Structure 1
């Protein structure tokens, strides 16, 4: 992790599920968020500097459960020691207004 985040992060009590849009397979879970990025835990490693298109579960309004599309870039990835789970830091790329609204609801 050569460039650690310096902005405020919010650790989520309820981890948001993240899906791969094409297959709808579970990609991982958002563990914490900031205005410009996400920490995602997954059972597979992510490649540093790779970009991903993902769907994040939006539970900010339980009346309207849906997903938000987001494009991200993996900044780092590391195993948990047992190599069963991997934590990865992602930078948001041109987040939509809906993604901004969701982020604000968790701050």
Structure 2
């Protein structure tokens, strides 16, 4: 299975953070038959994210994305993906409660 990894975040490209997620993902998918054949980091920019998705979507079986999910104004990943796939975001209360229980204990 061909896997592409997209890491999103200004901090990944301006030297503020080192991308360790894609290395971990690459190691983690191998036992399940995954083979990372493509990887890129992009800034929090709608046009760049869409360009990358369009560029690889025909040649990759699975796209794994990380980043761009924080509380700051430039974390736009969810909105971009919602627009890209023409679907609305939904809040999962059950998952939220499960996550809160894990964090609290």
> After TM superposition, is the score higher than 0.5?
no
TM-score, normalized by length of structure 2? 0.23
Higher helix share: 2
Please give the TM-score of this superposition, normalised by the length of structure 1: 0.22
